[in-house]
Amino acid sequence: MKTLRWTIGLALLLFQIGAILYARFVPARYFCWAPFDMQTDYRIQATVNGSKLSDPAIQKRYRRAAKGSDNRSFQHVIDIIEQTERRYHSDDDVDVVVTYRINGKQEQQWHFHQP
């Protein structure tokens, strides 16, 4: 039982060390202890099947406020929008524009279109 406990514990720690190394090669920062390392102000605008989504509809669809701040890697917001559409609304005709600014720097835009 002791061996099993230690094996599980060490596996959890090794997974995190792997995540810390992996984070050096990708923009996302999952399970690698990077809290509050980035401040991103963003605004999500989405059109689904020709209709523009209201702010509450955006909140409901992506479980994120339509306008707000994020304190982790901005890739996490992009992942949520992209994966929500692909996993839960793959039949919808979707256009998403996210306007964002990282740490107060120049404004940028990210676009997503499906199909």
Which phi and psi (to 5°) does residue 33 adopt? 60, 65
Would you count residue 108 as binding other proteins (CB under 8 A)? no
Describe the crossing of helices 55-62 and 75-88 by its angle, rounded to 10 degrees: 80
- Residue closer to other proteins by CB (options 12, 50) is 12
Would you count residue 8 as binding other proteins (CB under 8 A)? yes
Structure tokens that stand for 23 in this block: 């984070």
Would you count residue 26 as binding other proteins (CB under 8 A)? no
H/E run at residue 12: helix 2-22
- Residue closer to other proteins by CB (options 87, 111) is 87
Would you count residue 38 as binding other proteins (CB under 8 A)? yes
CA distance 80 to 100: 15
Strands 40-48 and 51-52: antiparallel
Site for other proteins in 82-101 (CB under 8 A): 83-84, 87
Q: Which residues bind other proteins (CB under 8 A)?
A: 2, 5-6, 8-10, 12-13, 16-17, 20, 23-24, 29-39, 63-64, 69, 72, 76, 79-80, 83-84, 87, 102-105
